[in-house]
Structure 1
Amino acid sequence: MEQNELVSITQGTLAIMNPTTPEKVLAAGRAAGLREGSRVVEVGCGNGTILALWGREYGISGLGIEAREDACRRAEETLRMAGLGDRIAVRCMDAREYVPDGPFDCAASIGASHIRGGFSATLDALLDLVRDEGTIVVGDRYWRSDRVPPEFAREWPDIPTEYEILGTVRDAGLDVAAVVRSGADDWDRYESGIWQSILSWLGGHPDHPDRDFMIDYLHRIQDEYFGYGREHMGWALYVLVPGFY
């Protein structure tokens, strides 16, 4: 099954396609200094929920970039229903090909570091999108320690520890202004939403040629979560600002 189709099936019905909450998303926006008139770009905006939250609460304008056409349609509808269709646009394209018309006040990548291949490359790309005093918000996975079982770590070669994240941020000339961490309940809710989406799809597609693949995928991600993920993997929103060096 093609990767974008798999993402749409497993997470397309989730309002926020990450283990976090609207309250935590708003907290990150507040720490980033978002306010009326702030121009924000979100790379991999999914269903548009995060931009809609920031638009309603802080009055931002800006742009969401998303490669999956079905997600683009949902994001446009989300923003329209929030009364933000005239302030926040959606560009349906590969974010790696996006060339901005001008710098933004804030650039965000919430659970989308896979687009660039990891935290460091994502941070470099986001820095190219903001003005000198601009802020960055990255939502990403991290290892809770450097003692992750090798058989699990090999499945996620791009995930750093938080101390490695801190070093990458400082090497880029930034400081961490805030971290908004996800808890066990956030993870359970997120993972359960994915399992329920897969089970619903299986119930509605008894003769689909990818049915066996989806059953195997469901069982594999559950094995990972119960066997290793819940203990060793974390997720957080990192708010990054120009550093004092």
Structure 2
Amino acid sequence: MEDSELVRISQGSLAIMNPTTPEKVLAAGRASGLRKGSRVVEVGCGNGTILALWGREYGISGVGIEVREDACRRAEEAFRASGLGDRIAVRCMDAREYVPDEPFDCAAAIGASHIRGGFAATLDALLGMVSDEGRIVIGDRCWRSDRAPPEFAREWPDVLTEYETLGTVREAGLDVAAVIRASRDDWDRYESGIWRSVLSWLGDHPDHPERDFMIDYLHRLQDEYFGYGREHMGWAMYVLVPGFW
């Protein structure tokens, strides 16, 4: 099964496709200084929920970049339903090919670091999209400590500890203005949403040729989460600002 279809089945119905909440998303926007007139780009915007939240609460304008056509349609619907269709648009394309016409005030990648292959590459790409005074918000996985079991850590070679994340941020000439972490309840809610989506799909597709693959996929996700993930894997949004040195 193609990755885009797998994401559509497992996460397409989730309002926020990450282990966080609307309140925490708004907190990240507030820490970023978003306000009326701020121009924001979100790489890998999914179904548009985050931009819609920021648009309603802070009056931003901007653009979401998303490669999956089904997600692009949902994002457009979300912006129209929120009365933001004239201020926030969707570009349905590979985010690696996006070049802005002018710098943004804020660039975000919430759970989308995989597009560039990790935190450092994502940070570098977002820096190229903002003005000299621009803010960056990255939501990404992190190790809760440097003691994750090797057999689990090898499955996630691009994940950093938070101390490594801090070093990467400073090397880029930035400071961390805020960190907004996922709680274990956030993780449970997010993972459970994925499991329910897959189970619903299995119930609706008893004769699908990919049924055995999806059963195995569900069980692998649960094995990973209960065996290692809940204890060792974290997730957080980092609000980054230009450094003062």
TM-score bucket (shorter structure): over 0.9
Number of residue pairs matched by the alignment: 245
- The CA deviation at 1:244 is 1.0
Partner of 1:103: 103
State yes or no: 1:36 paired with 2:36: yes
Question: Counterpart in 2 of 1:205?
Answer: 205
CA distance in 1, matches of 2:66, 2:125: 15
In structure 2, the partner of 1:233 is 233
Instruction: Give 5+ residue unaligned stretches, structure 1.
Output: none
Gaps of 5+ in 2: none
Rounded to whole Å, the distance in 1 between the matches of 2:128 and 2:43 is: 12
Normalised by the size of structure 2, how large is the TM-score? 1.00
The SS at the match of 1:234 is strand
Q: How large is the Cα RMSD of the aligned pairs?
A: 0.4
Structure 1 residue ranges (4+ consecutive) displaced by more than 3 angstroms after TM superposition: none
Summarize the alignment of residues 148-227 of structure 1 with structure 2, pairs less than 5 Å apart.
Answer: 148-227=148-227
Shift of 1:94: 0.2
Amino acid of the structure 2 residue aligned with 1:35:
R
Question: What pairs with 1:40-189 in structure 2 (closer than 5 Å)?
Answer: 40-189=40-189
SS at match of 2:19: coil
Alignment of 1:16-27 (within 5 A): 16-27=16-27
Provide the secondary structure at the position in 2 that maps to 1:42: strand
Cα distance in 2 for residues equivalent to 1:234 and 1:132: 30
Show CA shifts across 1:43-102 (max 9, x none).
000000000000000000000000000000000000100000000000000000011100
Mapped partners of 1:112, 1:98: distance in 2: 14
Please give the alpha-carbon distance, in whole angstroms, between the structure 2 residues aligned to 1:99 and 1:125.
10
1:124 Cα deviation (Å)?
0.2
